């Protein structure tokens, strides 16, 4: 059995759709970082290769740091990346609405669908589970964490979107031989 401790990176304060844009995290709240670290086990840590996840993982000071993983990146919003919702809606109103209301195979121009991101994230998580760590800390993004909530709860992508995943929150997923559970979603330490 592996327990995944999925941590969403620190806030970027961006008011736009940020996927692969490499914005830094604001990690100035030392108290929040200390509480988060105290809530996590002493376990290996892996992160997305985007700077907001890398620096958050580094701030958690794990003894074992695994290499950054591009497969743990946020969803690729393509041409919408960096745009506010109204800006993206002005470009592609029908496509944007369908993308959020029926997440699955619909992708933004030059971007990635929910199903494509989920397949990428699932494959990465499966690789880490195969390493047979009892606990593993994964510092990633809203979308990646939601894919694993969806997987553990056996819900649709639309239902998964109903879960809030705050910056610096912990979501705990357990992968056992008999199935997946999500005993903790969006815990703020």
Our answer to whether residue 74 is catalytic in this structure is yes
Q: Is 9 one of the annotated active-site residues of the chain?
A: yes
Q: Tell me how far the alpha carbon of residue 123 is from its chain's centroid.
A: 14
Catalytic residue among 9, 101, 132, 163: 9
CA distances from 44 to 51, 158, 167 (A): 19, 31, 20
Catalytic: which of 13, 68, 74, 187?
A: 74
**Residue at token pair 């700077």:** 51
Residue with tokens 């494509």: 116
DSSP annotation of 61: -
HSE of 185, CA atoms in CB hemisphere, 13 A:
18
User: CA-CA distances (angstroms) from residue 106 to 103, 117, 118?
Assistant: 7, 11, 13
Which residues are part of the catalytic machinery?
A: 9, 74
């Amino acid at each position: 059995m592996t327990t995944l401790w999925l941590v969403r990176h620190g806030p970027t304060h961006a008011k736009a759709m940020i996927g692969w844009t490499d914005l830094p995290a604001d990690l100035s709240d030392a108290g929040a970082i200390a509480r988060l670290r105290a809530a996590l086990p002493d376990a290996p840590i892996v992160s997305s290769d985007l700077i907001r996840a890398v620096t958050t993982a580094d701030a958690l000071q794990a003894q074992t740091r695994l290499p950054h993983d591009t497969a743990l990146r946020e969803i690729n919003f393509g041409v919408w990346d960096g745009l506010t919702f109204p800006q993206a809606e002005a470009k592609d109103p029908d496509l944007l609405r369908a993308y959020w209301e029926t997440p699955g195979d619909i992708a933004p121009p030059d971007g990635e669908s929910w199903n494509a991101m989920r397949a990428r994230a699932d494959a990465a998580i499966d690789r880490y589970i195969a390493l047979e760590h009892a606990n593993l800390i994964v510092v990633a993004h809203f979308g990646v964490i939601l894919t694993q909530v969806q997987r553990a709860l056996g819900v649709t992508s639309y239902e998964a979107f109903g879960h809030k995943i705050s910056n610096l929150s912990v979501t705990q997923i357990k992968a056992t031989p008999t199935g997946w559970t999500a005993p903790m979603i969006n815990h703020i330490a």
